[in-house]
Amino acid sequence: MEDNIIELKQGEVLLHTNDEIKCLYLILSGETDIYSRYGRISTSAGSILGLSGSLYGLSLYNYVAKSDCILRKFTVSGISDLEKILREYPDMVPDIVILNEHFIMELIKLYLSMMIKCKRKDPSFTPDSRLNKWVLDKHNGIASIPEDIKKAYFGANISNSAGIIIENTEFINLLHEICLDMSELLGINNDYIPKQQNAAARSPVPALTFTKDDLFILDELKGSLDKILDYSEIDDDTRASVTDTFRRFKICSDRLSSDENIRLLRKQITGFFYDIYYKVFIKSINDDAIPSYIYMFLNFGYMDEELAGEEVSVLLYKIYKAGDSLFNNDNIFTMYRWLKLVMSGEKNPSRNNFDQSYEEFIRQEIKNNRIDMPEESALNNCEMKLRFEIDNLFKSANYMTYGRVSTFVPVVIKENIAKNIPDAMLSADSVTDIITKIKEIDFSLFYRSIVYTNEELGISQLYVYEEYLPEIILTPCIGSRGVLWQEINGRKRNSSARMLFPIFCNTIPENIFLNVMGKYRWEICRRIQGSYWNVATEKSLTSEYYDYLLFYKKNKDLSEQQKEKLKSLLINCRNNYSEVFAKDYETWINYESKGASKLNKISRNILAKYCPFNKDIRKVLRSNPIFTDCIDYYERHMLNDRRKYDNLIKVMQTKNIPIPKEIEETRAYYSK
């Protein structure tokens, strides 16, 4: 049998939820059940499995053979490879699209059923605003079209059919997310539970066996919660409350349930966590021999070996043994190291949620008589700086990087772990590699234009480019989101941004980094432009994008289909223009840089102007008609700017004047 043909026996599993999607699977014969928390949908020959997860690289569902199946496997880099699959099986294209529409209709039925139940449970419940009624009506309308007409239409043009499926996949992902939220509210879980007699499609995973060293580790970590509480030296009453809350949480059968009692337990644990963290942190900074469980608590959010599970506890211990350098370098910090730097004065506290610096906050508190000490003393108080950073940055960012706010709990629990811990780990090297790869495409990402003066050389004002790499802080949680906290440090425009990511990432890290970089592009432009950020006459990334999104309905360069797609995107992003731009930025880096046309002409031209590809990519893409004009426009302007610095350097060389590195680096920037 060919390597790309797979046989599944009834009950075997093809993919689990959160498995990495490297292949798509076309069912040639048999039926497959597609399981999720909110229900099950069956599909048959002609269906392509894994499509919905291919947008972000992780499977959304459990795929289980309902009967004996034969599947064709296609290795893909993403959903953009779909058209190649369809061209291999042109006769099956109409059935593939029809089955894709059938899956959507079944998903809509589950959605409507849960929506009714949610309204019964909570009369104030309102449908998710991201879901447009006209989209539901569209798919209902397609379902009512006679089969022969659908087959004729879907079989007429393969590129068109591929586009329909890709658009449907985006809708499926949105509907899936909404259904998951409703299933949490209802407290239901209809996901696949393997039966003992059903063999898995992959090799059976043996029970973890522990070595002597592992058993020693488990013995050292036994009773971690009590040891952490001992170290924190909290009062007896608080300790009794913490112990009782954790005891009740540990016996819950579903710790991520939306049940009100369990939600309350998670909330109580969250409150205790930060109080204990502060006390443990203060004691640890003067401790030359921090115990393993304390290090794991401060850096990973570990508190209890039973909640984390034995396997995860051992793995976290081994990561701890690898040392601080695993997660730290000049620009990347664990939250623990970051807080130490803030307390010592080496780093300024971050701005709070009201965009106030620490200094502005202190002055306001003194003015309002909430702080009773001299201003200078308060500004230099190390513990007040620490409290400010924990209360503002740490608490908020930990919650945000976790990803699913409705089930947030700051301690490591095995239910939150969707990937192997070593695979999920964001080390300093892996973060550096991800950022380097993005910069290899978007070379100007972290460059800023600043004014350079040099009285000795007679330079009173010259604009040069300098690179300011971001400060990356790793929050002690297992999460799925990145956060741009601030685009500059304080009020200094020539300073580094601050970004936060979970130290263990449950999803594909490249995707969340790209999303944050897109938001950074938007926010740094807003900061530089000030009140002119959305003024059309002041050309900038934000002003041109704002104008494009505000008046897209009247734009003659956009087709009706592109306008409808943009309308859906705006609804999906809750009319947040920076979110829309961030999604387009992801597409720009992931697809357009490889020559795949995913954006419309307007957004492509804006991105080409303000987020240009490096010269090697531009050289390859120039022959593609959709890129020719925007690349030529950019390079004409770059050439004009570079000549100015070339001429300046020639004059300085003629006079034997040493060339300042700022000028050399700027000429190099214009040559990229």
Amino acid present at 521? R
- Specify the DSSP element, H or E, that contains 63: strand 62-65
Place of tokens 């992931």: 590
448 phi and psi angles, rounded to 5 deg = -125, 145
114, two tokens: 């849960």
Residue 196 — pLDDT band, cuts 50, 70, 90? very low
Residue 125 has pLDDT above 90, yes or no: no
Note the pLDDT tens digit of each residue in 530-555: 999 999 999 999 999 999 999 999 99
> Which residue blocks in 354-465 are alpha helix, DSSP H?
358-367, 375-379, 382-389, 395-402, 421-424, 428-441
Domain 5-186 is in which class? mainly beta
Residues 6+ apart with CB under 8 A from 422: 315, 319
How do the residues of the chain divide into helix, strand and coil, expressed in percent and rounded to 5? 55, 15, 30
> What's the confidence (pLDDT) of residue 369?
87
Band (202; pLDDT cuts 50, 70, 90): very low
Residue 205's pLDDT band (cuts 50, 70, 90)? very low
Instruction: Write out the H or E segment, with its range, that includes residue 447.
Output: strand 447-454
What mean pLDDT do residues 368-373 have?
88
Instruction: Say which DSSP state 345 is in.
Output: T
Res. 388: pLDDT tops 80: yes
User: Going by DSSP bridges, is the β-strand pair 23-29/69-75 parallel, antiparallel, or unpaired?
Assistant: antiparallel
Give the three-state DSSP class for 313. helix
Confidence of residue 611 (pLDDT cuts 50, 70, 90): very high
Global pTM reads 0.75
Average pLDDT over residues 203-209: 38
Model confidence at 200, pLDDT cuts 50, 70, 90, reads very low
pLDDT at 208 exceeding the cut of 70: no
Query: What is the band of 210 on the pLDDT scale with cuts at 50, 70, 90?
Result: low
pLDDT at 372 over 90: no
- Structure confidence at residue 201 (pLDDT): 33
The pLDDT of residue 466 is above 80: yes
**pLDDT, average across residues 38-56:** 87
What does the pLDDT look like over 78-90, one tens digit per residue? 666 788 889 888 9
| CA dist list (Å): 174 to 24, 97, 181, 263, 544 | 20, 19, 11, 25, 28
CB 61 within 8 Å of CB 17: yes
Q: How many CB atoms lie within 10 A of CB 578?
A: 20
User: By CB neighbour count within 10 A (0-12 exposed, 13-18 middle, 19+ buried), where does 409 fall?
Assistant: buried
Pair of tokens at residue 400 = 């945000």
Q: How many residues does the chain have?
A: 672
Q: Which H or E run includes 513?
A: helix 509-529
Query: For residue 636, what pLDDT band results from cuts at 50, 70 and 90?
Result: very high
Segments making up each domain of the chain, as ranges = 5-186, 530-600, 614-671
Answer whether 292's CB lies under 8 Å from 388's CB.
no
Whether residue 119 has pLDDT greater than 90: no
